[in-house]
Amino acid sequence: MSEHRTTSRFAVVTGGSEGLGLAIADALAHDGADLILVARSHDKLDIAAKELGRHGTIVHTVSADLSAPEAPAQIAARIGNLTDRVDTLVNNVGTAHFASLAETTVDEMNTMWHLNVQIPLLMSQQLLPALLNARGSIINISSYWARKMVAGRHSAAYSATRGALNSLTRALASELGPQGVRVNAIAPGAVRTPKYEHSYLTPMTTEQRTAHDEHIERSYPLERLGTAEDVATAATYLASAQWTTGIILAVDGGLTIR
C-alpha cells in the first residue's frame, strides 16, 4: 500500500467477503486503496476484514442483503458516513440459474434481473455523488455467457442479464464520461473459485473430472481455468486506467475467440 497518500482512496466491493470479490478487494488494497466490503454474512465479512487487515489495509464492512429493495439506499447511507468519495465501485454481486426455456421460472428471471442488472445500476446511482467527487470509476463483473453459449447448458435468461449488464456499462460510460467517471466491465471465463470447486468439480466422478479437464484444454487456448487473481489483476488495471472507459474486458484465457 502506498506510504505517501495525502487523500485516502476508497474502493467499494459488493460481494467482497469471498471468491472473486475478496480477490479483487485484496488486489485493490495492494494498489493503495482502503476498502469498504459489502456482503450478506457478518461472519464472512469479519474473516475477510481480518485477512485483509493483516496487510495494513483499512477495511470497513457493510452487511446487507442486496436482494432487498431498500438495500442500495441503505448501503449508500452507511458508506456516506465513512467517506464522501468513492474512487472505485466494483459491482461484483450476481447470481446464475441455468434452465431450459421450458423450465425457466419467472422468480428465477426476476432474481437474476434484480441482482445482475438492477443492483449494479442502483448502486452506481446511489454512489454517484461520491464517484463524481473522486472522479472515480465503476467496474461491473459480467460473464462470458453474454457472448458464448455452451452446448447442453441452457442459459437464455442468465445470458440475457449479462448482455444487459454489458450494454448498461457502455451506456453509463457514455453518460458519465464527461463528468469524469469511467465505467468498464470484466467478462471472466470459468474461474476456479471455492464455489466452483464445491458445486461443480467436487461432485464429479473420476471419469467426469477427466472429461472436464480435457474439455478445458480444448476450449481454452491457454488450456486452463482462470483464477480469482487473474480477474483481480484486470480489476486493478481498470481502476487505474485513466483513458479507458466503456470496454468489456474478456479475461477468459481466450475462450471467446474460439
Known catalytic residues are 158
Amino acid identity, residue 58? I
3-state secondary structure of 251: strand
E strand intervals along the chain:
9-14, 33-39, 59-63, 88-91, 137-141, 182-188, 248-251
Residues, the chain, total? Answer: 258
* C-alpha closest to that of 127 among 171, 91, 163, 164: 91
Phi and psi at residue 188, in whole multiples of 5°?
-75, 155
24 CB-near residues (< 8 Å, 6+ apart): 13, 16, 90, 92, 228, 231, 232, 235
Q: What's the chain's Rg over C-alpha atoms?
A: 18
